Amino acid sequence: MFLFPGYGMWLLLAIPGLLLGLYAQAKVKGAFNKYAKVPTSRRMTGAQVARELLNAQGLYDVQIERVEGRLSDHYDPRTRVLRLSPEVHDAPSVAAAGVAAHEMGHALQHASHYAPLGLRSALVPATQFGSQLAPMLFMGGLLLNIFLGGQLGLMVAWLGVILFAIAVLFTLVTLPVEFDASKRAKKLLVSQGILFQDEVEGVNKVLDAAALTYVAAAVAAIGQLLYYILLLSGRRD
Ligand SMILES: [Zn+2]
């Protein structure tokens, strides 16, 4: 096995994010499976919940589509379409109501020009480009520096770090976007009379677990960035 430089440090910085991520994913699955079996008293499917909440906010033109996959639910701001997975779209469960309302929260953020959502969307292209290229630049530059010495390798590696920092910023901007969507969802589910107060507990469990996955992604990304920075700052040209 090729032991890359400072792998002990990498383990120390990467393990917390990885473990938290695994824990959060297990929690999301557990909470979703549990509350997917609990029907709401009004027996509305996720699609019906989303439609009613969107209409109540005057967002008649936001479309709802059924999309294949598990927990693949999302709101697409480019086409203003809310895509719900079969288990959410078709099911009259507490879990489905929670996820549908959360995605509706993103549509609402979009319509009200919620700033963090705009920033997040603006960061998407740079993040996709950066997160693919950054590790290659970093490792390539580092190896160049190790085997040939000189400034060039270090400069290439630092360029990788800067690109990766954009991806880290993306995971951080995602946090207020996700927390806010869930906050709007919980509030509207009760105020619009879709769920009773005692049914919101299941929604809380599902959405809080989902939020934890985004926290884990941010922790993992920050750990990786710190690793890059610590590894490079110790090097001479
Ligand atoms: Zn979301």
Q: How far does the centroid of ligand 1 lie from the alpha carbon of residue 102, in Å?
A: 6
Q: How far does the centroid of ligand 1 lie from the alpha carbon of residue 6, in Å?
A: 35
Q: How far does the centroid of ligand 1 lie from the alpha carbon of residue 142, in Å?
A: 36
Phi, psi for residue 90 in degrees, rounded to 5: -100, -10
Residues 185-190 have a mean pLDDT of 95
The answer to whether the beta carbons of residues 217 and 21 sit under 8 Å apart is yes
Q: Is the dihedral of CA 172, 10, 165, 134 positive or negative?
A: negative
pLDDT for res 237: 59
**Is 103 one of the catalytic residues?**
yes
Q: How far does the centroid of ligand 1 lie from the alpha carbon of residue 74, in Å?
A: 7
Q: How far does the centroid of ligand 1 lie from the alpha carbon of residue 40, in Å?
A: 22
Q: What is the SS3 string spanning the chain?
A: CCCCCCHHHHHHHHHHHHHHHHHHHHHHHHHHHHHHCCECCCCCCHHHHHHHHHHHCCCCCCEEEECCCCCCCEEECCCCEEEECHHHHCCCEHHHHHHHHHHHHHHHHHHCCCHHHHHHHHHHHHHHHHHHHHHHHHHHHHHHHHHHCCHHHHHHHHHHHHHHHHHHHHHHHHHHHHHHHHHHHHHHHHHCCCCCHHHHHHHHHHHHHHHHHHHHHHHHHHHHHHHHHHHHHCCCC
Model confidence band, residue 14 (pLDDT cutoffs 50, 70, 90): confident
Q: What is the pLDDT of residues 107-137, one digit of tens each?
A: 999 999 999 999 999 999 989 988 889 989 9
Instruction: Say how far apart CA 233 and CA 112 lie, in whole Å.
Output: 43
The answer to whether the beta carbons of residues 40 and 199 sit under 8 Å apart is yes
Catalytic residue among 52, 103, 178, 199: 103
Exposed e or buried b for every residue in 159-185, given b needs 16+ CB within 10 A? Answer: ebbebbbbbbbbbbbbbbbbbbbbebb
Domain boundaries, the chain: 7-233
Q: What is the pLDDT of residues 69-108, one digit of tens each?
A: 988 999 999 999 999 999 999 999 999 999 999 999 999 9
Q: What is the pLDDT of residues 197-231, one digit of tens each?
A: 889 999 999 999 999 999 999 999 999 899 889 88
Instruction: Say how far apart CA 217 and CA 161 lie, in whole Å.
Output: 17
Q: How far does the centroid of ligand 1 lie from the alpha carbon of residue 206, in Å?
A: 12
Model confidence band, residue 234 (pLDDT cutoffs 50, 70, 90): confident
Which pTM value belongs to this model?
Answer: 0.90
Q: How far does the centroid of ligand 1 lie from the alpha carbon of residue 144, in Å?
A: 41
212: which residues sit within 8 A by CB, 6+ positions away?
Answer: 20, 23, 24, 27, 28
